[in-house]
Amino acid sequence: MSEKLYLYPQWIRVWHGINAILCLILILTGLSMQYSNPDTVVIIRFDIAVNLHNISGVMLSLSYFLFLIGNMIRPNGRHYKIVVKGFLKDLMKQFIYYAYGLFKGEKTPFPITKESKFNPLQRFTYIILMYFLVPAVILSGWVLIFPDFIQNNLFGQESIHLFDLFHLMTGFVISVFMIIHVYFCTLGKTALRNFRSIINGYHESQ
Amino acid sequence: MKEKLKTIIKMGLFLIPLLFFYLVLIAQNQEATSTFEYAEDNQQCLKCHGHTYYNYYNDWLERMIRERMNPYFIVDSAEYYEANHRNFACIDCHTSEYENFPHNGELRMEPKYACMDCHGGDDTYAKFNFEQIESEFYNSIHSSKHSDDFTCWMCHNPHSYKISARTNRHLNKTIQYDNNICLSCHADISKYQLLTTLENPNILETHSWLPNQVLHFQSVRCIECHTEINNYILVAHNVQAKDKAVQRCVECHSQNSILKETLYKYQNEGFSYSENRDRSLEIPKLIGGNRRYMLNLASVIIFILVLGGISIHAVLRIILKPR
């Protein structure tokens, strides 16, 4: 008999949805700008891509800010904390499960509970993503929107060039994360169950 | 006595470096002008035309008079001796009658040389392709709209113009120098209205559609968007009407950026024209143009590895699914 856990409150679901759409737009417009060509349109026309990218970037900043506030004042923030002692061991345990145990039908080493909705690998990845990579991509993005406000040279290089490179690389890592994230969501009891959870808020545990 | 000696030594310690500094300045100054063959002759003109004020003896009044120089007739001697024509005597281009003072009023009507009077048909300048530059200029909106009134001197002040694109190691300085040439008319109503009665459009307003306007103005020259590309001359001279200006961002912001045919077409040291120029020149540092081969390759490899890993994992899940 499966047990229903209410893991994703409304604000998380709304934020997650907006975040997903914005990230998708940012990736597509980012690719369009990076591989722009005067003769052929790559995904989205350059000038439209620039405007869409800027608008989505600003909205993502706002959405991220609300997420941070939400994590500070709501209990969701506790899922983004790590107890260092034994964490590496737990991380390995979860990794081995995904790489081996899963195929043998073993039970997940860290079942989802109301107190802990992320397994150690998720927890680690989401902390890196939400507290390091996303702020980094947002800040470097703002610098690229307002390049006149930064000093011209940084470490002997044109700073806009460095920020561009940094923004590009961070954006790429986030894009890769999104692909892996979507795939890992199919690792539920059925391929679509986790997607349903993030829409209705309920996680069905075994 | 001892106190006096101490004071003299102290004064000496203070004065000797000052004297040394003064001598260095004099030496530098002499070196700066003495290297030019006609510096001494030119000084006869520059002693008045090189300053905002000039002095002369008025025979009628029988005294020295100090007058303000017409600002349009002032030649900055420092600029002149850095300019392309620094090795010329003033009277190479102006009549020697100017050596008499007061100058005859009719001398103002003397016809001025045009660039091609010296630079045309001369093998010395063949590599600069002046004939092509002239023909491009005649096709330009500057020439077609203003006919003979618009001469080379409008942009290339013979007393201060110096080559920049080929010699400047810092691209930003070339950009600033070249843009200032355009702005000398397009941001100065008095010069602009020498040729037209129209009101000078405000550059900032007409370019308000341009994102990051300041950065664009600092990073590219006006001629990048406002001239037709010509591969046989270093700097395009066929200035186009405003409706023909480049307005599609992607013309520059792409790997096939037109900037490679304009701003980045030369190397700062030892320029080369399109037929033999080094096409491996650094790609413009701009979004869409600065794709780095190694990063592109790395990103494709990582992407393939991720997709491959996911595919293998998915297939194994299906094959090894516990019954």
- For the domain spanning A3-81+126-205, the CATH number is 1.20.950
Distance CA B195, CA B191 (A): 8
User: Quick one: average pLDDT of B3-31?
Assistant: 66
Determine the distance in angstroms separating the CA of B273 from the nearest CA of chain A, rounded to an integer.
24
pLDDT 10s digits, B212-259: 888 889 889 999 999 998 888 888 999 999 899 998 888 888 887 888
Query: Which residues 301-320 on chain B approach chain A with CB closer than 8 angstroms?
Result: 302-303, 306-307, 310, 313-314, 316-317, 320
User: Quick one: average pLDDT of B187-211?
Assistant: 88
pLDDT at A98: 93
Give percent helix, percent strand, percent coil of chain A, each to the nearest 5. Answer: 70, 5, 25
Q: Where are the domains of chain A?
A: 3-81+126-205
pLDDT 10s digits, B49-99: 999 999 999 999 999 999 999 998 999 999 999 998 999 999 999 999 998
Q: Is the pLDDT of residue B276 over 60?
A: no
Q: Is the pLDDT of residue B282 over 60?
A: no
Across all residues in chain B, what is the average pLDDT?
Answer: 83
Rank A50-59, A143-152, B151-160 by mean pLDDT and report only the highest.
Answer: A50-59
Length of chain B as a residue count: 323
Across all residues in chain A, what is the average pLDDT?
Answer: 90
pLDDT 10s digits, B101-129: 889 989 988 888 888 888 888 888 787 88
pLDDT at A127: 96
User: Quick one: average pLDDT of A31-41?
Assistant: 85
pLDDT at B32: 52
Q: Is the pLDDT of residue B270 over 90?
A: no
Best B254, B283, B317, B318 residue to mutate vs chain A (most A CBs within 10 Å): B254
Q: Is the pLDDT of residue B278 over 50?
A: no
Return the higher-pLDDT residue of B28 and B287. B287
Q: What confidence category does residue B322 fall into, taking pLDDT thresholds of 50, 70 and 90?
A: low
Q: Nearest chain B Cα to A47, which residue?
A: B249
Rank A123-127, B167-171, B289-293 by mean pLDDT and report only the highest.
Answer: A123-127
- A50/B249 touch (CB, cutoff 8 Å), yes or no: yes
pLDDT at A66: 95
- Give the helix ranges, DSSP H, for A74-119: 87-99
pLDDT at B30: 54
Q: Is the pLDDT of residue A2 over 50?
A: yes
Distance CA B11, CA B298 (A): 69
pLDDT at A55: 96
Of B215, B251, B317, the CB nearest to A38: B251
Q: What percent of chain B has pLDDT over 90?
A: 40
Q: What confidence category does residue A19 fall into, taking pLDDT thresholds of 50, 70 and 90?
A: very high
Of B166, B175, B164, the closest CA to residue B285 belongs to B175
List b or e across B238-255, with b for residues whose CB sees 16 or more CB atoms inside 10 angstroms. bbbeeeeebeebbbbbbb
Distance CA B75, CA A175 (A): 60
- A160/B214 touch (CB, cutoff 8 Å), yes or no: no
Is-contact A136 A166, C-beta < 8 A?
yes
Q: What confidence category does residue B275 fall into, taking pLDDT thresholds of 50, 70 and 90?
A: very low
ipTM associated with this complex: 0.88
Is-contact B221 A3, C-beta < 8 A?
no
Q: What confidence category does residue B204 fall into, taking pLDDT thresholds of 50, 70 and 90?
A: very high
pLDDT at B26: 60
| Contact status of A102 with chain B (Cβ, < 8 Å) | yes
Strand B63-68 versus strand B53-58 pairing type = antiparallel
- B307/A50 touch (CB, cutoff 8 Å), yes or no: no
| Contact status of A46 with chain B (Cβ, < 8 Å) | yes
Is-contact B179 B221, C-beta < 8 A?
yes
User: Quick one: average pLDDT of A73-94?
Assistant: 91
pLDDT at A30: 93
Of A47, A103, A148, the CB nearest to B317: A103
pLDDT at B273: 42
Return the higher-pLDDT residue of A197 and B6. A197
